[in-house]
Amino acid sequence: MVKRNYIADIEKALKERTIRKYIQRLDHEGFIIKKVEEGKRLKYVYTAVPIQEAWNKVKGKIQQIIDEITRVLEIKAVLF
């Protein structure tokens, strides 16, 4: 039989892992800024990029998707 504490520990670890992956993705895509601060120990401090910069990144991604859809539709139109 599995102890209840063990299950809670697994759930907590999964949540932490999910959060770390999400933060890593936001950092990779440029939506947050990660800085190292020194206190009793080193730690990361995350801040969001300015809203205008975030909007420009989102707008660029949307435009890439639209361009790809347009390209595929144009190829399909030529084939038929």
The angle formed by the CA atoms of residues 60, 65 and 67, to the nearest 5 degrees, is: 90
Q: Where are the domains of the chain?
A: 1-49, 50-80
pLDDT surpassing 60 at residue 1: no
pLDDT tens across 17-68, in order? 888 898 999 999 999 999 999 989 999 999 999 999 999 999 999 999 999 9
pLDDT surpassing 60 at residue 15: yes
Give the whole-angstrom CA distance, residue 43 versus residue 40. Answer: 9
